[in-house]
Structure 1
Amino acid sequence: MVDVSVVIPMKNEEVNVGPLLEGIAEACSDVSSEIIVIDDGSDDATAAEALRMNTVLGNVRLLSHPNSAGQSAAVHSGVLAAKGRVICTLDGDGQNPPSELPKLFQPLLADETGKLGLVAGQRVARQDTLSKRWGSKFANGLRAWILKDGTRDTGCGLKGFRRDAFLALPYFDHMHRYLPALFKRDNWEILLVDVSHRERQAGSSNYTNFRRALVGIPDLLAVSWLIRRRKKAQPQERFDAGQEGI
C-alpha cells in the first residue's frame, strides 16, 4: 500500500509524459506514492515514454486501453488498479501544474474525521483560448444552477479523493465533470482549493466545445436524476443495554 496514487489519463501526449511525471515525482517526494498512466488508445509513443519513465523514477505503472474510451473510463481504470487510499488526478496535457498536488492530498491524509471525501481544484487565471473559457463559464453556470454543487469549476483535472468513496459512486461516461455533486450526493464533505493553470506546452487538445456540449446536457440531466433518487435512509446500529460494550 502507498499513501497517494496519482492517476493520469493520456491520449497522444508523448511529448508531455516525461516533464509531467518528473514534476509529479517532485511534488510527491514527501509521501509514499505511485504514478499510474492510463494510455487511452494512443497512436503515438505515449505508452513507450511512460515505460521509459519507470526506469527513471521506479514508481510508474502503465495501463492501456486498446481503444479510446474517454477520460472518465481512464480515471476509473486507474482508480481500480491503484494501491493508494488517496487518489489524485490531473490532466495529461501538462496544463495542471504538478506542484499543486499537495493541496489535494495533504488535507485528505490529515483528515481525522473520516468525513472529507473530495478536494477539488478550481483554476484561477486560466490559460486557455477565449472560446474554451467562455464555453466552460457557460457550462459551469448551467451545471451550478441545476445541481447546486457549490463549485465554479468542475472541469479542472486537479482533484483528490478517497479511493473507497470514489468506487462507491455510480459509474458513467463523463462522470469526472460531476464529482463534487456526486460526492455531495453521498454525504461526503468537499473542500475547494484554488489552483494555478498554464498554457499547453506541446501537442494538441483532444476536446472541443461542440463535442462537450453534445454529451453535456444529457449527462447533466442524468446526474440531477441520480441526486433526486439517492438513498436517504442512513442505518444506525443499535444494541440492547446488556450488549453495549461487548
Structure 2
Amino acid sequence: MTNSLTIIVPVYNEADNLQRVERELSAYISSSKVESSVLLVNDGSTDESLRIIKDICASNPKFHYVNFDKNYGLSAAIKAGFDHATTSLVGYIDSDLQTSPMDFDLLLEHIGEYDLVTGVRSQRKDSFVKNMSSTIANGIRRSFTHDGMDDTGCPLKIIKADHAKRIPMFKGLHRFLPAMILLQNGKVKQVPVQHFERVAGTAKFGLWNRLLGPLMDCFAYLWMKKKYINYKVADKA
C-alpha cells in the first residue's frame, strides 16, 4: 500500500504565524516523499486565525481545516486531527514552526518499521527555564511510562493512522503519545530534528502546564494503562 500523510497543525491565536505555515508546508508538500496534505485545527482562536485559515484553505486544495466552537486544548486539537484524517499516516507539527516540516522526511525513513516516529529537538532554542522545566517533566514522565523517550513533547511526529485512531485521548495525553502506542504493542522510535526560536506569536504553555500539569497527567496515564483494552482478532467469519 502506498502511504499518504495528513499533517495536523493545531492553531490557537497564531495569526502572525499562519502565512509562514502555509509557505513552509506548501514547500514541504511539493517535495515530500509521500502524498501529503495539511489539516489546520483551529482551537477556538480569538484573533484573526480563523479568517486566515479559511483564506488559506480556499486558495490551496492541499489545505483543509476543522474549526472548534471554543478552546479545548492541544490534546483535543490533535485528537480532532486523528479523527478527521483519512490517510494511512498522520503527522503533527506546531503552528509556531519551531520545528521544520522538511524534517518529516527524516521520520518517514523509519515509519515502515515503526508505528510512531517522533523528533528529538537537538540544540533547543528555548529559554533556560523552558528547557529545564521540559527536562524535569520528561524525566518524571519517563519514570512513569518507561517509554524510553527523551523528548516526548517534541512537536514533530508521524504515526500510523490505525494506531493513532485507537488512542483513547484525554486532556494532556499529547505528552504520552509514544507510551500509548506501546500500550498497543506498537513500536516507537525517536530521531534528532532541528529546532528554531519562535519568530512570531507567544507561547501557550507556562511553568504550570510544563511541570505540575504533566505530573498530574502521569497519574491519569497510570489509570489508563491499568484499564486499557488491547486485543488482536485471530479469526472471524
Task: Normalising by structure 1, report the TM-score.
Answer: 0.88
**Among 54, 68, 72, which residue is 2:71 paired with?**
68
The one-letter code matched in structure 2 to 1:150 is: G
Distance of 1:82 and 1:206 partners within structure 2:
25
Assess if the C-alpha contact under 8 Å between 1:88 and 1:105 holds in 2.
Answer: no
Q: CA deviation at 1:205?
A: 0.9
Q: How many Å separate the matches in 2 of 1:107 and 1:213?
A: 31
Asked whether the equivalents of residues 118 and 160 of structure 1 are also in contact (C-alpha less than 8 Å), the reply is yes
Equivalent AA in structure 1 for residue 104 of structure 2 = L
Distance across 1 between alignment mates of 2:230 and 2:200:
47
Q: Distance in 1 between matches of 2:9 and 2:23?
A: 13
1:55 positional shift: 4.1
The aligned amino acid for 1:7 is I
Counterpart in the other structure of 2:207? 209
In the TM superposition, 1:1-246 aligns within 5 A as 3-29=4-30, 30=32, 31-108=34-111, 111=112, 116-231=114-229, 234=232, 236-237=234-235
User: Please, which runs of 5 or more residues in structure 2 have no aligned partner?
Assistant: none
Contact 1:9 1:92 in 2 (8 A): yes
Return the letter of the residue paired with 1:87.
V
1:133-153 per-position Cα deviation (integer Å, ceiling 9, x unaligned): 000000001111221110110
- Which consecutive residues of structure 1, in runs of 5 or more, have no partner in the other structure? 239-246
Instruction: State the TM-score, normalizing by the size of structure 2.
Output: 0.91
Shift of 1:53: 2.0
Deviations 1:64-90 (A, max 9, x none): 112110001001112211121100001
How far is 1:234 from its partner?
4.9
Matched-pair identity in %: 27
CA distance 1:233–1:168, shift in 2 (3 Å): closer
Q: Return the alpha-carbon distance in structure 1 between the equivalents of residues 51 and 107 of structure 2.
A: 28
Give the CA RMSD over aligned residues: 2.0
State the alpha-carbon separation in 2 of the partners of residues 34 and 231 from structure 1: 32
What is the CA distance between 1:236 and its match in structure 2?
Answer: 3.7
Change beyond 3 A, Cα 1:190–1:130: same
Letter of the aligned partner of 2:24 in structure 1? Answer: G
Q: Would the aligned equivalents of 2:137 and 2:210 in 1 still touch at CA under 8 Å?
A: no
SS at match of 1:34: strand
- Aligned 8 A contact 2:136 2:211 in 1: no
